[in-house]
């Protein structure tokens, strides 16, 4: 949510590039139209108006870049990101439910056997200790019970710690990916009008498709 707010706050910076992009695109459109018209006149051919509309269409995209270009792309791709995020949250909830179910089944399995019930239940552990006397054999049994219970608790603590470590690493990786994604989207959004303006010139038409493909691919870094 914080990164999304940061992205929205940085969008007004696109207007700073829009003014520069307008000048570059206007100059490029002038040269583009002049070159196409001159070629048609030199060859004594009819002027094809349709290709001449491309610079003006790009100019309109530059003028309304935040709403027309970014708004359209984000609106189209946002349901995909939200759907994947909802799927991830559902799977995470299922994993937590499965973990609780596994712990419950393990507890029930230990409680069914009198020989292992004291490992999972404090009441059962205290009850079995009270049944023991102070003979050497009972003392050995009591020591073994303490050692078994300590080993079980250590094993359970290590397992829970490792599980929490993996969950923390998963969340940290998701946060890093989301941060990098937001940073690259902000940079692409700020430089977008300039990329559209440069694509007006002959030989740089691929700048437009490269910018769109890169923006879409980074937007789909599903956090």
What is the full DSSP assignment across 102-154?
A: HHHHHHHHHHHSTTTHHHH-HHHHHHHHHH--SSHHHHHHHHHHHHHHHHHHH
CA distance 73 to 216: 8
What's the pLDDT score for residue 2?
A: 66
d(CA 176, CA 89): 18
Per-residue pLDDT of the chain (223 residues; tens, 9 = 90+): 666 777 777 776 666 677 777 788 888 787 777 877 777 777 777 777 777 888 888 888 888 888 888 888 888 888 888 887 777 777 666 677 777 777 788 777 777 777 777 677 777 767 776 676 666 776 777 777 778 778 878 888 898 888 889 888 888 888 888 888 888 888 888 888 888 888 888 888 889 999 999 999 988 876 5
Q: What is the pLDDT of residue 124?
A: 72
Give the per-residue pLDDT at 213.
93
* Contacts for 204 with CB less than 8 Å, ≥ 6 apart: 198
pLDDT at 1: 60
Full residue range of the structural domain in which residue 69 is found: 2-219
This model's pTM is above 0.75: no
Q: Are 46 and 37 in contact (CB under 8 A)?
A: no
pLDDT at 214: 92
How many structural domains compose the chain?
Answer: 1
Q: Give dist(CA 27, CA 178) in Å, integer.
A: 38
Buried b (16+ CB within 10 A) or exposed e, 110-140: beeeeeebbbbeeebbeebeeeeeeeeeeee
What is the C-alpha separation between 172 and 145, in angstroms, rounded?
40
Pull the structure tokens for residue 51.
Answer: 């290709």
Residue with tokens 């690259």: 184
Looking at residue 212, its pLDDT comes to 92
**CB contact at 8 A, 66 and 14:** yes
């Amino acid at each position: 949510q914080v990164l999304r707010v940061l992205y929205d706050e940085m969008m007004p910076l696109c207007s700073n590039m829009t003014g520069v992009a307008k000048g570059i695109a206007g100059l490029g459109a002038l040269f583009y139209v002049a070159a196409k018209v001159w070629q048609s006149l030199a060859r004594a051919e009819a002027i094809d108006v349709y290709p001449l509309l491309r610079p003006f269409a790009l100019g309109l995209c530059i003028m309304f870049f935040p709403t027309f270009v970014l708004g359209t792309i984000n609106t189209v791709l946002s349901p995909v990101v939200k759907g994947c995020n909802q799927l991830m949250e559902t799977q995470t909830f299922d994993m937590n439910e499965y973990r609780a179910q596994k712990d419950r089944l393990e507890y029930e399995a230990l409680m069914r056997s009198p020989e292992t019930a004291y490992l999972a239940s404090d009441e059962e552990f205290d009850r079995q200790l009270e049944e023991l006397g102070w003979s050497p054999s009972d003392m050995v049994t009591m020591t073994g019970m303490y050692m078994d219970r300590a080993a079980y608790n250590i094993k359970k603590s290590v397992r829970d710690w490792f599980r929490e470590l993996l969950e923390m690493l998963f969340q940290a990786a998701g946060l890093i990916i989301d941060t990098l994604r937001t940073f690259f989207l902000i940079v692409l959004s700020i430089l977008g009008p300039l990329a559209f303006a440069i694509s007006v010139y002959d030989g740089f038409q691929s700048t437009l498709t490269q910018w769109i493909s890169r923006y879409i691919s980074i937007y789909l870094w599903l956090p």
